[in-house]
A and B are shown apart, each in its own frame.
Chain A
Amino acid sequence: MTDRADRDVQLIQRYLGGDVEAFAELMRAHENRVFAIAMRMMRNREAALDVTQDTFLTVFRKADRYRAEAAFSTWIYRVTVNTCYDHLRRSKRKRTEPLPEFHDPPDHSTASALSAAELRPDLESALTKISPEFRAAVVLVDMQGMSLDQAADTLEVPTGTVKSRLFRARRQLAQILGNFAPTAEHPTDEEP
């Protein structure tokens, strides 16, 4: 295990013993990446914050069941992606239901930083047009820098499936962005 993974195991044990500082350290270690994944998956800041909160609630409530057979980070990012899937499905069913405000809107000083970090509109629009499963492959590998194996562990699918999803996702993105005209036949459209 890596130092981070070892440290996470120690922190989980301390948290289960009632150490609130361990909770805080775990949050600091993983919250940015959890939020980043959620933001790229949901494309909506408020929804991403919802996902982030739900993810940590799930993880901390079930922390006593964690036995370190998989890296804590793998587990939490898996929960993140699956929570995104879940929120996306539910939001699709209830498009008219407004989400509640539960955080303060960013002030002007942070607005520029926020906008600078947003995806280019064309890419952002393109990401909405590919399936959540494809989007997850792109987010984990191309945006979060995970290896195919790490992404496969996180998504609980074979590495070949991640590779296929990634390839097809990029192709679709390029097509949507106007840089690719698909040919009639693509044998790789079938996942391994």
Chain B
Amino acid sequence: MNDHDLDIILALAEDRLSGRDAVAAEAHIASDPELAAELEAQRTAIAAIHAAGQVEMTDAEREHLHAALIEQLHLEPAAAAAAPPRESRWAAWLAPLAGAAAVAAVLVGALVLLPTMIGSDDSTDVTAVAAAQTTTTAEAQDAAADAAAPLGTISGGEAEDDGAALESAAPTTVAASSVTSSGLILARDVPRLVAPDVNDLEKVLEDQSFPSTYTTGETVDVDETLLAECIARLDALTATSDHELLGVAQADDGTELTYISYLAEATDKTHVASLDLETCELVATSS
């Protein structure tokens, strides 16, 4: 079948021909059993597809969607005068941490849970994660594409298959958390990612093993001063604040925060990295 035949089959299947053109085209296609079978297949598929009804959100789903977006985009009516926030993405997460006591609403976010490696003890448990802003691989890659694409032709974040490692680093589970001055409280169960060794981080990210989940209401203590310092170091290290905090991991003694994972969007590839909070140095990356 050549391109001409393909065009004729498509035109006939989609009823774009009429009169003598249609009769001639039908005759041409009918003269070749293979082409006739192709046309019949196209018509069969189109008929089946068109028989499907339209789908719509229910009112409840629509209301939930609007409410979630208003919250996550900081579009509370009282703050309507302000433009959408474009400040450092760390700020939205860090500000509540620095606050006094009240539980601050935090954005729904995707998490990557990275292991603590204190003492390189394989049995060391990771007990804490924190959600920052919503992060999807699509969004991150979208931003990466933005850097190279003219404005107005922004890619929607199409990922190629060779970006598997990156993709695997962003869990599908969307989790919500609240932040208090004393810690992070998970609002719902989230997946837990455990690497036996920091050097295995990349492998674990690719393997995507989630042997367990954290449970709702789990509280995590964080050292705010240390966290703030390392976030500043991270901004300097990556020469941009245009990245997303994905999560933090902590030793099971609840006292020492050891790693932050993040997505850096300002590069040609999106990276998932782990930052050692004791040295403020990158200890593992996956891209």
Contacts and interface: CB of A to CB of B under 8 A. Distances in A.
A35 B55 contact: yes
Given A18-B81, A32-B56, A117-B56, A53 B167 contact: no
A142 B65 contact: no
Contacts, number: 256
Contacts of B3: 188
A145 to B, nearest CB: 10
Q: From B48, B170, B174, name the one whose CB has the most chain A CB atoms within 10 angstroms.
A: B48
A174 B172 contact: no
Interface string B143-155: 1001000111111
A42 to B, nearest CB: 11
A176 to B, nearest CB: 9
Contacts of B152: 66-70, 75
A80 B148 CA distance: 20
A19 B84 CA distance: 10
Contacts of B81: 18
B168 interface: yes
Contacts of B48: 120, 122-123, 126, 173, 177
A82 B155 CA distance: 9
B182 to A, nearest CB: 25
Given A94-B172, A97-B191, A65 B151 contact: yes
A23 B75 contact: yes
Give the interface size bracket for A toward B: 35 or more
A58 B208 contact: no
B156 A79 contact: yes
B84 A16 contact: yes
Given A75-B156, A97-B210, A171 B51 contact: no
Interface string A136-175: 0010001100000000000010000001001101110111
Given A58-B142, A61-B139, A119-B52, A49 B61 contact: yes
28 contacts: A15-B84, A16-B83, A16-B84, A18-B81, A20-B80, A27-B69, A36-B54, A36-B55, A50-B174, A53-B68, A54-B134, A56-B65, A58-B157, A60-B69, A63-B84, A86-B137, A93-B167, A94-B208, A100-B189, A102-B108, A107-B60, A138-B45, A142-B50, A167-B42, A170-B13, A173-B45, A173-B48, A188-B1
Interface of B: 1-3, 6, 9-10, 13, 34, 37-38, 40-42, 44-46, 48-58, 60-62, 64-66, 68-70, 72-73, 75, 77, 80-84, 86, 108, 134, 136-139, 141-143, 146, 150-159, 164, 167-168, 170-175, 188-189, 191, 208, 210
